[in-house]
Structure 1
Amino acid sequence: MSLGFTILISGMAVGQLRTITGTVTENNKPIQNVSVFEEGSTAIAVTNSSGSYQLKVSGDNPVIIFRHPEYGEKRVFIQNKTVVPVSLEPPTKSIGEVILNAGYYKVKDKERTGSIAKISAKDIENQPVTNVLSTAQGRMAGVSITQNSGVPGGGFDIQIRGKNSLRREGNEPLYIVDGVPLSSETSSLFAVTILPWSSMSPLNSINPDDIESFEVLKDADATAIYGSRGANGVILVTTKKGKKGKTEFKLGTSYSLSTVANRLKMMNTEQYLDMRRQAYQNDGISSIPASDYDLITWDEFRYTDWQKTLIGNTADASSVQLSLSGGSENLSYLLSYGHQEQATVFPADFRYTTNNLTGNFTFRSPDKRIEVNMNNTFSFQKNNVQNDDLTKKSLQLSPNAPALYDSSGNLNWENDTFNNPLALLNSEYLNSTVMINNGTNISYRLFPFLSLKLNGGITYQDFEEQSLKPHTIYNPAFGLTSAYSSSSQNNQTVFSYLLEPQISTDFGWKDHRFNVLIGTTLQQSETKQGSIQGIGFESNALIRNIGAAATKIVSDQIRSQYYYTAAFTRLNYQYKKRYILNITGRRDGSSRFGPDNRFGNFGAVGTAWIISEEPWMKKLSWLSLAKLRGSIGTTGNDKIGDYQYLNTYSVTTGIYNGTVGLSPSRLYNPDFSWEKTIKREAALELGMLKNRLNVSAAYYQNTSSNQLVGIPLPATTGFPTIQSNLNARVQNTGWEFEVSARPFKSTQFKYETSFNLSIPRSKLLEFPNLEGSTYANQYMIGYPTSLVKVYQFEGVDPATGLYRFKDFNADGKISSPDDNKVIEKMGVQFFGGWSNNFHYKGWSASFLFQFVKQRNWNYNRSMLIPGSMNNQPVEVLDAWSPSNPSGTYMQYSAGTNAQKNTLHSYFQNSTAAIGDASFIRLKNVQLSYSIPVKNLGIREAMIYFQGQNLLTITRYFGIDPEFLSVGYLPPLKTYSVGFQLSF
């Protein structure tokens, strides 16, 4: 009887199984890769290229769920139907459905109390760049990003709501990739002549094609949970993850060409030689020295455009991206590989090569209680370029200088009269970087309202660089051999690990909602660095092997450790889904301070009032969202380097009586502690017309105190400064405005536009005994810390033809610091961007304008005295003469007159060397077309064209108004074509 009953029940169950079929569409067009499954069942069907599916279900009235990442989820009660067609609609893009990464937690944009800016993969993919920071320029309010060099593999200067610290390194933001912090910019020992500040961005190791989102945390509420590490803002990079569905293989490749975006118009040979002859005439010299080869020896009819010759090459670049992704309800994965190569615009075969391998894995238990995320990035970078940037030489070489090569194809030295600039290409600067970043996040839902989490990761970076300077970079007339060749090598490894156990709870009661997060952080990093120099080789063929050098100089072999620990908590409370309170607290400990000052307390309070959720506001049908929010909090800063509070010693290079000595390099001061910043913000956000128009405005105020600087000491101490806290206060304030709109959104044509504007202001509030300190000529109370004091230029004296400057102390002479009293407020006055996106059927297009209003140094700052053996911009033709009494420049001088040389140095440090550096730049253009290939078994095929830095509108006197590092290659103009295939 039992066996018969079992067979009967089983038969009834089998009898209830039935097959349903159908087609999933959008506007009568099939949708592929839609997951179809019965609620409570693990069996999943996926729609094919025709949108069709087939699924076995059980029960009398089962619920079928349809899911696709680009559409809203749909639930259907099928009752006794066997054919179930379904139409899906894209989800409404409302502010409340945008999810932002806030680091330790995620938050809906509608419910956030802090200031978070975000760009998505769609914005990143539109730009032919190798560093994601380039894609963020002009797209984020309050975030100023400047590329330091047009040489591949360089760094970026990024300021999030201004500079809080008086030190450059004290203003670096915190970089977090998939929950794991990266080290700050890699600092080179040898690259200073090719890369400004020798800086290399840590995000060079992250392939932009692997990035899902890029978020910047700006205010106290958003950054306080990171404590001291987030004092200057936090940059969060989230890489792409695998998605549920069939296995997908993607192939993408592109090829691009880059050139210098802007050039100065220089004098031609006739203008140049006329300037040179006038210079000697003005100096009263009738006999031109034999060493002035441009006037005596070189061909006076020869002309070379040195900008075109030395920095005018077209740099090609190529990239290949492969990825494999897929997954089920419980497991998803993504593997990607990217290879990129970039050449330079210099006349040599230098190349920057990167290889990136990324693997992301996610596991969820069937009961959804356990989730494991593993993110792994492996980056291999190699860069080689010459040791010296040729940009400055391209502007200064005489236009009638000889040919670069002789008739035999060798470097031409023109009978020892010409220093051939291409000889510098015989030197090399090489670096290679291996970076491994692993992040693992494990969560376990202990109860429906309580979860345990563990966030951990390791970062390993091995950086090696070499500077090769063979004797062939010098004129052969010097008679040098490989005994004068030198090779320098530096190695630096950084290993760090992170452990962050956390507990979080989320529960509600009637109109109340609570979310609590408690956690701790333990981070340790170890840096090892050592360098060696070799001088003198039997042959330059051995120059890469320092062991073959006749003389070897070994520098300090440094090993430093950094320990960081913290405990943090966050309480988020919501009442009736419209009153929100967010409280964050953190206690940090850093090994960079003395034993009595290692711990600091930081925290923030953020609030938000969603006014549009009030019953009396819901009557306004045109209003989708109205929200007021504000925050106040404190953060710290310990970015001063390791062991700064200790007595430290360096190994001397000299040897006395066979013994290597030690020399003191730093004084002991265990009393200094954290720099501290108080951040305040208030903001209003509005969404109108079903969020087709969104507007936000924010005002912020950051006040930094306890500045960590070098306090000057008397020379008799043997040390110029001692590291200490200075009771100076710096304040950054500003307004940020953002507007986004979707005026058109039909099934075939879509148009989206956004605009952002930032108006930053900065000033020094307090600086004890400023006038009596060595900083008196650098800062001034009530003015920005970026100010400069210069001479007041008053034109050319018609009686002498020489420059005139205002004599402030009326002593009859011009001198510093008595007469350089004019205060110029350097830097940005406002900046922003305007982006537009168009979609029509299979076509899409976008463009981005970036704009900056600013004052800064112009070309007069670096200009050599007009009339010397150096070419000049055509603007210098406007020199004073009796026939041109309104001329800007004084009479030309060959550089032999001491008085004129002194006046020219004053001119370089006067109001004449500062001007309007504002610009409007067509930052990015993209045009793409999706080829209809689904009938060929290909999911997606797209071809595209992209452009970067295509047009700059400016009145700036110089090469590039944004890039102000004199003598270095500015960012390049790039055209790129490519295609993507998905199978």
Structure 2
Amino acid sequence: MKNNYSRLKWVALIIIGGVLFFLSKAANAATTTPLPLQQQEVSGVVEDQNGLPIPGVTVTVKNTNRGTVTNLDGAYNIIAPANGTLVFSYIGFKTVEIPVDNNEEISIQLEEDVSALGEVKINAGYYNTTERERTGNISRVTAEEIELQPVVSPIQALAGRMAGVEVTSGGSHPGMAPTIKIRGTNSLREEGNYPLYIIDGVPINSTPVESNSLMSSAGIDPLNNLDVSNIESIEVLKDADATAIYGSRGANGVILITTKKGREIGTSVKARFYTGMATVPNRWDLLNTEEYLEIRRAAFENDGVEPTERNAYDLLLWDQDRYTDWQEFLYGGTSETTNANITFSGGNETTSFRFGSSYYTQGTVYPGDYDYRKVTGNLNLNHRSGDNKFNLSLSLNYGVDTNNLVGNVGFNATTAFLPPNAPEIFNNDGSLAWEEWGVAGLDNPLEGYFNTSNTQTNNFISNLTLSYEIFPALRFKTSMGYSYYDSKEMRKQPSQSYNPADETPNNSSHLSAGRKSWILEPQILFEKSFNNLKIDAIVGATFQENIQNQEGFRATGYASEALIGNIAAAESIINARRESAEYKYAALFSRIGINWDRKYYINLTGRRDGSSRFGPNNRFANFGAVGTAWIFTEENFFKEKLPFLSFGKLRGSYGTTGNDQIGDYGYLNAYEATDGPGGLYPTGLANPNYSWEVNKKLEVGLEIGLFEERIRAGFSRYRNRSSNQLVGYPLPEITGFTSVQANLPATVENSGWEFEFSSLNIDSKEFRWQTSLNVSLPKNELVNYPDIDQSSYANTYRVGYPLNISLLFDYTGLDPETGFYTVRDVNEDGSFDYQDRIIIQDLNRELFGGINNSFSFKNFNLQFLWEFVMQEGLQTSFDGGTVGNSRSVALATLAGESVYQKISQSAQARTAYGYAINTSIPVEDASFVRLKTITLNYNLPKAFTRKFGMENWRLFLHGQNLLTFSEYSGMDPERTSSGIGNLRTITAGLEINF
């Protein structure tokens, strides 16, 4: 197989080289064609009413096929008859016709046409549509909204910007994978809920990559290597009409990422640079040394226990006057970030290209020299023949990143809650201090500090699309993609990181992963109008193959620290493992769109999929959907009776999508090697009969536009039911196997309302104000699971409730005699287990959304996005009296002014607290409103920039997570279960166009 891929790469390189050679010849020929007589060259600049250049404006010679588009600076150049007429057209602006009249320069300002904004093209995957004509539910963000955000992954830039799309940060470490949910959780398996990522037509494995570093909890985001500045738009497909054409891969929604393309006519260079810093925006309200010692002494007094050096080393052995703000020590640093980006684009009437490169680096807030670095390169090439019959598009994206966030270090909340009078972490010579900690029988909390970790990933994504018009209504198209992802991680663990008394040897841990994929999709496209009837159809096939491999081991016993990592110098190799899997996928798909008089629309899609992840008995399945729309404002009644209603559309869809996100080879018996030579032990039992997980989606929607669409609003009601749940079902040990892949008779329902609103509040020559709003009210429910009480999920889920729940004890108040927490023993058997957890706590978001405003005044532009979430979260730090700092609520408890149990460090108190954290006591309102992003731009006057040979010079200031309003008492209400969360970031930079 390796040789096959090697040949494939060489063949691809030869094809690409030949294509580039052909295009260079075609471009030269195009630029040397002699000009016809009685023609003249006309050039100029197209601007908006604010004097800003408009790239991409189509400029044509009226009644001819000759045309061009403006470049990034709004400039154009065209050959036209001296007595001809130029037509300037662009989506969102009114079309203008200007006679040439022997003029060699024609520069104009276009007037915005609000009613035309619905004609903006939207990427629907295998075809394009418009906001006006779409029958499915598709949300879209553009480069303008995301390109200035100082984020590693483009998914992070979507938070608060789309209805039904829930994004949660992976954490404060750069490179951690965020969590994205499109209309809720569909599968009982965590890995079964990832959406489908498609970059320029190439599907990408969305599963986070395993890591042994500080990113291990969330994993590494496979999209980290993308250049956010190179993204043109991100579309999210949500309902059945939009996702069914992706069949078994569309159950959890589809995320389409489209990169930027080159501009025709002339050349342009754009450079952007920004730098800034990030800090932790919040702190726990903890006790100082005096308060802490008071609480500790009160605990011994309440318990009637005499302090000893064993149970009270913080009172008897440690300095009573020392104070260390461990939060400031742990995450009080500043994470510096820098980004530099440069692009070069150009072309002529038939060929355009865009080449870009970027560098990104981000530090951490933790003590130590840790950072993340990323370098990317991208190329986009487009060519069409002179008669527009042949089209070619080539997209190449490559990125490499290096992350040295180390593992096995106490950069967590445990360190933040150290006693404020705890000893120093380091000796004067910089080594870890052990003596004072050892006297108390403790290890240094930053044990492992001198460990180093290096994780490097390479990501290559390529796509070549060819199309040819066979007949005026019939076109053949084929898309060919290849992607390669490689991750290598090594962690060095020198003995100086550990207690000398333990005599820990020098070690290293190694982990590598590889993902290779190719895809081929031939298609036939038909588009024809018959008077008022328009039909467009697609018939195609998909052939895809993925190969994944993973390897890990640990090397130990290096003679010296300098040799760590040199495997040949290790004394032994332990815990070695190697995994490899091959996934093959094939499908036939079709779509037919029918449009009558631009008023009535119907969209039919179907797909038959085959996946190697299923056994021979159930390898193929069918998926399909129907979507309809009625633009009722095209009816004469609405035009006459409701003239203020400029646009109105009813739409609906129903269909099925699938899910094959399960492990490979689950239909076969699985074995693993024993520690001894030549042995095998069973791990998975064969089941050739399990079948596809199916998601049935139903949706209705209403979209309206008022007052020439200065106001637009949309409402959606959806219901998705995912059944035939695929899980690895645990088996009793007596079977000899640990699990079997099977379908469970469970049905999960996600339903809800989505609301979207946008308005053009003020639109004058010098001042403009736009607002957009999205609100989502989701509901998740396990609607059916027969005999759940007899299954392995009896203590995890409850029928009639969401999947994301906590099963809690019934809190019955403080014991009047002991002052400790008490919980209800439901079955009165003298023990507390899951039979007593009768309280069900919903941990899902009840409501979420965002509101964005954009203000423009002369050369200034201000944009800011507020994200809001309504939810409940957990706060488990509410005790006091034991070794370790406490929140200030402990002082209120000491004064008898709190609902918490009395100050104590006894075993009885610890047991009571252990039960209490599994009751409703830790539940608190974690709703928040956050200033997610704010950007201030200033475009220098053109009279000034042109003196320096520049077309445009923009200065900008960007802030992220600057303000958060919440009643939640923890660090970050977005991540109530895990520490720090989002960082507060401020960056400043400039952008120059040559």
Relative to structure 1, the CA distance from residue 269 to residue 47 in structure 2 (aligned partners, 3 Å threshold; closer, same or farther) is: closer
Contact kept, 8 Å, 2:192 with 2:661, in 1: the verdict is: yes
1:618-665 alpha-carbon deviations (Å, 9 max, x no partner): 12321111000000000111101211121111122x22xxx3322211
Residue 316 of structure 2 corresponds to which residue in structure 1?
296
Change (3 A) 1:281 1:226: same
Maintained 8 Å contact 1:23/1:85: yes
Q: Which of 244-253 and 578-587 deviates more?
A: 244-253
Q: 2-side partners of 1:47 and 1:217: how far apart?
A: 30
DSSP 3-state at the match of 2:678: strand
Q: In structure 1, give the amino acid aligned to 2:839.
A: V
- Structure 1 segment 771-850 matched on structure 2, within 5 A: 771-810=789-828, 813=830, 815-850=832-867
Residue correspondence of structure 1 range 495-574 to structure 2 within 5 A: 495-553=516-574, 555-574=576-595
**Cα distance, 1:716 vs. partner?**
1.1
User: For residue 781 of structure 2, what is the amino acid of its counterpart?
Assistant: K
1:74–1:88 CA contact under 8 A, matched in 2: no
Moved more, 314-323 or 954-963: 954-963
**What is the deviation of 1:207?**
1.1
Task: List per-residue Cα deviations over 1:106-161 (Å, max 9, x = no partner).
Answer: 00110000000001101002422222112110010000000111101100111100
2:403 matched to 1:383? yes
Tell me how far apart the structure 2 counterparts of residues 521 and 956 of structure 1 sit (CA, whole Å). 49
In the TM superposition, residue 41 of structure 1 has moved relative to its aligned partner by 7.3
How far did residue 604 of structure 1 move? 0.4
Range moving further from structure 2, 919-928 or 552-561? 552-561
Letter matched to residue 417 of structure 2: Q
Q: 2:487 aligns with which of 433, 439, 463?
A: 463
Q: Is the 8 A contact 1:27 1:87 kept in 2?
A: no
> For 1:451-477, what per-residue CA distance to the aligned partner results, in whole angstroms no more than 9, with x for missing partners?
11001100001111122222222223x
CA gap of 1:45–1:890, structure 2 versus 1, over 3 A, is closer
Counterpart in 2 of 1:891? 902
Q: Structure 1 CA distance, aligned partners of 2:653 and 2:817?
A: 62
User: Which amino acid in structure 1 is aligned with residue 712 of structure 2?
Assistant: N
Check the 8 A contact 1:371/1:442 in 2, yes or no. yes
1 CA distance for matches of 2:284 and 2:866?
Answer: 23
Pair 1:293–1:572, CA change in 2 (3 A): same
Secondary structure in structure 2 of the residue aligned to 1:270:
helix
Q: 2:607 aligns with which of 572, 586, 593?
A: 586
C-alpha distance in 2, partners of 1:27/1:913? 56
Find the partner of 1:913 among 918, 922, 926. 922
Partner of 1:956: 968
Alpha-carbon distance, 1:414 to partner = 4.1
Among residues 941, 955, 960, which one is paired with 1:943 in the alignment?
955
Aligned to 2:514: 493
CA distance in 2: counterparts of 1:770 and 1:48, whole angstroms: 60
- The 1:831/1:942 distance shift into structure 2, 3 A limit, reads same
Going from structure 1 to structure 2, the CA distance change for 1:969 and 1:473 (only over 3 Å counts) comes to farther
The residue correspondences of 1:854-893 to structure 2 (distance < 5 A) are 854-860=871-877, 866-879=880-893, 884=896, 887-893=898-904
Provide the residue aligned with 1:480 in structure 2: 503
8 Å contact kept, 1:217–1:235: yes
Once structures 1 and 2 are overlaid, which stretch shifts more, 544-553 or 35-44?
Answer: 35-44
Distance of 2:595 and 2:277 partners within structure 1: 53
1:389 CA displacement: 5.0
Deviation of 1:814 after TM superposition, in Å, equals: 5.3
- Is the alpha carbon distance of 1:197 and 1:900 closer, same or farther for their aligned partners in structure 2, counting shifts above 3 Å? same
**In 2: Cα distance, 1:485 partner to 1:901 partner:** 38
- After superposition, the Cα gap between the structure-2 partners of 1:765 and 1:47, relative to the gap in structure 1 and judged at 3 Å, is closer
Out of 933-942 and 371-380, give the one that drifted further: 933-942
Residue in 2 that maps onto 1:440: 464
Between the aligned residues of both structures, percent identity stands at 38
Q: Classify 1:43/1:751 alpha carbon distance in 2 versus 1 (closer, same or farther; 3 Å).
A: closer
Partner of 2:225: 205
CA distance in 2, matches of 1:69, 1:115: 21
- Mapped to 2, the partners of 1:960 and 1:50 lie a distance apart of 44
Question: 2:666 is matched with which residue: 626, 633, 644?
Answer: 644
Q: Is the 8 Å Cα contact of residues 926 and 976 (structure 2) preserved in structure 1?
A: no
Q: Deviation digits for residues 415-443 of structure 1, max 9, x if unmatched?
A: 43464334432123321100100011111
Between the aligned partners of 2:243 and 2:608, the Cα distance in structure 1 is 14
Report how far residue 100 of structure 1 moved: 0.7
Which of 31-40 and 214-223 deviates more?
31-40
> Which of residues 127, 150, 156 is equivalent to 1:134?
156
Q: Contact conserved, 1:71 with 1:88, CA < 8 A, in 2?
A: no
Report what 2:295 is aligned to.
Answer: 275
8 Å Cα contact 1:359-1:377 kept in structure 2: yes
1:85 CA drift (Å): 4.9
| Counterpart AA for 2:800 | G
Which of 120, 135, 146 is equivalent to 1:98?
A: 120
Please state how far the C-alpha of 1:202 moved relative to its aligned partner. Answer: 1.8
CA contact (8 A) 1:156 1:200 kept: no
Q: Deviations over 1:337-394 (max 9, x none)?
A: 0100111001111111100101000001111111111010011011011213512233
Correspondent of 2:452 among 420, 424, 428: 428
Count residues with an aligned counterpart.
949
Counterpart CA distance in 2 for 1:432 and 1:294 is: 42
Any idea what SS the aligned residue of 1:202 has?
coil
Distance 1:28 1:83, change over 3 A: farther
The letter for the 1-side match of 2:832 is S
Q: Deviations over 1:748-787 (max 9, x none)?
A: 1111111111000011111121122232221111111112
CA distance in 1, matches of 2:622, 2:658: 8
SS of aligned partner of 1:617: helix
What amino acid is aligned across from residue 835 of structure 1 in structure 2? N
Task: Tell me what 1:980 maps to.
Answer: 991
Q: Deviations over 1:840-880 (max 9, x none)?
A: 111011111101111122234xx6x632211111123332x
Q: CA deviation at 1:815?
A: 1.3
Amino acid at match of 1:260: V
- Mapped to 2, the partners of 1:949 and 1:395 lie a distance apart of 22
What are the residue-to-residue correspondences of 1:151-230 with 2, within 5 Å? 151-191=173-213, 194-195=214-215, 197-230=217-250
Question: What is the SS of the residue equivalent to 1:162?
Answer: coil
Greater displacement, 124-133 / 681-690: 124-133
Shift of 1:44: 7.0
* Residue matched to 1:333: 353
Label 1:766 to 1:546 Cα distance change in 2 as closer, same or farther (>3 A): same
- Equivalent-residue separation in structure 1 for 2:429 and 2:72 (angstroms): 67
Structure 1 residue 479: deviation in Å? Answer: 5.0
Residue 639 of structure 1 aligns to a residue whose secondary structure is coil
2-structure distance, mates of 1:715, 1:35:
70
Separation of aligned partners in 1, 2:40 and 2:699: 60
- Aligned partner of 1:322 in structure 2 is 342
With over 3 angstroms needed to count, the CA separation of the structure-2 counterparts of 1:706 and 1:461, relative to structure 1, is same
What residue is the counterpart of 2:747 in the other structure?
729
- Amino acid aligned to 2:837: N
For the residue of structure 2 that corresponds to 1:673, the secondary structure is: coil
Q: CA deviation at 1:293?
A: 2.5
Alignment-mate amino acid for residue 840 of structure 2: I
| Residues 306-338 of structure 1, C-alpha deviations (whole Å, 9 max, x = no match) | 010111100101110010011211011110001
- Aligned to 1:317, the other structure's residue is in SS state strand
Aligned residue identity for 1:980: E
2:266 to 200, 225, 246: 246
CA–CA distance in structure 2, aligned partners of residues 108 and 818 of structure 1: 54
Letter in 2 for 1:221: D
